[in-house]
Chains A and B, each alone.
Chain A
Amino acid sequence: MTINRRELLGYGAAALGVAAVGLPNIAKAAAGELTIAYNVNLPSWDPTTGPSAVNPTIQGLYQSVFDQFIPQKPDLSFAPGLLTEWGWNDDRTKVTMTVREGVKWHDGSPFTPEDVVWSLQRAGDEKTGNPIQFVWKNVNNFKIDGNKITGDVVQFDPVYFKWMSFLTGYIMPKAYYEKVGAEGFEKAPIGTGPYMVEKFERNAFLRLKANPNYWGGKPAFENVTIKFVTDAASRVAEIESGSSQVTLEIPYEEYDRLIAKDGLAGSCKNVSDIGMIFFNNKDAMLDKNVRQAAVMSVDKELLVKRLLRGYGQPIDTLETPEYTAFDPSIKVEHNPEKAKQLLAASGYSPKKPAKITIQTTKGFKPKDYEMVQAIVGMWRKVGIEATIEVYEIAKHYELRAAHKLAPAAFYNWGNAIGDPTTSTGFAMFGPSPHSSWKTDDLDAKIGPLWGEKDEAKRIAGWKAVDKYIAEQAYVLPLIQYAQPIVHAKGVKVVQHISGALLPALMTPA
């Protein structure tokens, strides 16, 4: 049989046509299958050690496979999990925990209180490289009695149990880990979580299989494929083509466009991530009038409306409404005229402006650079001339740790457990490597709160600190971010305010 050139071209065109016609079937998801285009890679499987353990963006993946000591509901409230009860004794010298019975690890072995104790001891041992060891070391000498655990408090930390829902607060399998070691665990991780790891290709994908023995009930989707698609445009294409059924963290413009399409829906709720501008106690920022003018000249409503298409919410402190120490009475007015008067009192005007540098990332968070450009424009009108310096986020960390940030620097701050220590505390307390404003007056107010035993008094104390910070204008809180999630209409997605995208919370619609 011979084929001439014309026939060959014809066959080629027909093959292409068949491929094209068959496409909708390819794009259609199989029953019980869910594919998610995820925005970050998963570097490591141990959620308790190394840099990835403190990366907030991958906690959703960890929480799909492992259980935290204490889980959080989507509204950030704490719920019984592998620990069914927890608490302090009256004088805060001991902790007590009750461990859930009848739970199994993914390999079928029983989950025991020994696993809990081993995980806490390992986390508190500085040799294991747990970045939050400074919290876990505060309790030791654990004792097991049946399914009850007690431990001695070395140094009282009121947030100890809240950390059990936060970074590195995961229960690891003692016997399995000791058997396979760190390397073996990376290759075949097991947990007690709703999903089991079936296949993992670093930088490519993660295949999860529903845990039939999950103590919280088997998840709705039998198989979940998580594709690591770090480019936002590619994630948009993934969902638009039907290759993935869920994606997140795409530009708000694309979110609006996609949810208007047939077959797609979305959810864009405020999450525990804020945008803020750090002030550094140097140059013109040492002048309270300049700081206050810098804060009250910024129209945050306008930023949300114009730049973020209405998604997100202006904030006046580092606490969002979902946080424990949120105080709605603390308000900072937007008043450019008063800002001008304050600057005039310090000898500045639009013609003779106070000069500062503001640092920002570009593209690290939605519209970060554009937001800073807008703020610089607002400042210029009242008498602050700011020069924008763009840097990478790595440079921000370096400068912040060395207390060398510019007088103003844009950053975002997540706080999944909603406690004031992990928002205002670490962001504003001088000795913290993550603070920028370092003055004795503020440290004197924050210092006693770290070990405050009376919870009501502690929260009231943090509210007072937030009020003081707002009055002194030591920081410029901007907005609470909204997280855009687009999904196929056949999938129901429950958004978690922590920002973690959890397949276990997804069900067929």
Chain B
Amino acid sequence: MPKASVTFQDIGVTVTVPAGTRLIEVSEKVGAGITYGCREGECCTCLTKIVSGHEHLAAPSVLEDQVLKDNLAPRRHRLACQAQILGGNIVVKPA
């Protein structure tokens, strides 16, 4: 299975993950500072800054796009509960 790496900048940990993993699945286990509310892409609690590797995440859904817009999210920010890792190296930190 294709692998990817995600670095959680706030705790200095890089995790090797299978492609297709969502950020939420790994950030919680590793104890990063990304926090969650509804876990369904609605509340925007898990807003995450994509420091680099934004192109290695699946494009946001219509719902995620709308929630990001409603919450005035800056560019290169995603919902960790929605963002799916496709491959490559990605660096993230809590928004």
- Answer yes or no: are A and B bound together in one complex: no
